[in-house]
């Protein structure tokens, strides 16, 4: 699932590389939807479905643990404080993503806005249902090889802005439940 796929270049590359996987792309802007439809036709992709609207509305309709990977790449940072409520990364959407992501599923995010990067990390780095997949600086400073570039990434780099590539993994529901019930402390089970 890609949230706000822009012109669809990342989604197209992923769908072409993995024809056995079904992809859902959500985009509220008609120009982006039209571009992706052009790619679908050009490459005869039959594994892409499009939601032409707000991804949050789709999340409410998806079954629990039904998504194996999600992408939020270079979203509008809504930098003004009064607009922060429009950011996709917010408690209600994080809870919805935790519900629809399968155990072990990855949620990849990228931004070239330092403020939004801090916002994402503040909301997700210590979240009980997500693990931040970072072990060294290159884990968030360099785009992983299996992560196709986007037009917005190219624009950011051309303008001298350094993107951050954040990867989170949905923790096991059992481990999360055990931790909430006090059965896991310091990484060890206490039964």
Quickly count: other Cβ atoms within 10 Å of residue 101's Cβ. Answer: 26
Q: Supply 26's token pair.
A: 């959500």
Q: 67 in helix, strand or coil?
A: strand
Could you give the CA distance from residue 93 to residue 148 in angstroms, rounded to a whole number? 25
So which residues are the catalytic ones? 76
Angle, CA 72 vertex, CA 69 and CA 75 arms, to 5°: 175
Is there a contact between 25 and 8 (Cβ–Cβ < 8 Å)?
yes
């Amino acid at each position: 699932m890609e949230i706000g796929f822009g012109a669809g270049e990342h989604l197209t590359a992923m769908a072409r590389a993995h024809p056995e996987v079904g992809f859902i792309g959500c985009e509220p802007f008609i120009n982006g939807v039209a571009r992706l439809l052009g790619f679908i036709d050009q490459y005869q992709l039959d594994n892409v479905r499009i939601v032409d609207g707000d991804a949050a509305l789709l999340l409410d309709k998806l079954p629990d643990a039904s998504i194996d990977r999600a992408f939020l790449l270079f979203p509008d940072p809504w930098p003004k404080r009064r607009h922060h409520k429009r950011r996709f990364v917010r408690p209600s959407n994080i809870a919805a993503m935790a519900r629809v992501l399968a155990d072990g599923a990855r949620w990849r995010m990228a931004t070239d806005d330092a403020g939004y990067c801090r916002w994402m990390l503040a909301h997700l780095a210590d979240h009980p249902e997500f693990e931040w997949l970072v072990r060294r600086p290159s884990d968030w400073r360099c785009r992983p090889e299996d992560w196709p570039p986007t037009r917005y990434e190219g624009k950011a780099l051309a303008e001298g802005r350094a993107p951050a590539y954040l990867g989170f993994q949905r923790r096991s529901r059992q481990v999360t439940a055990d931790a909430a019930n006090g059965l896991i402390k310091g990484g060890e089970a206490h039964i």
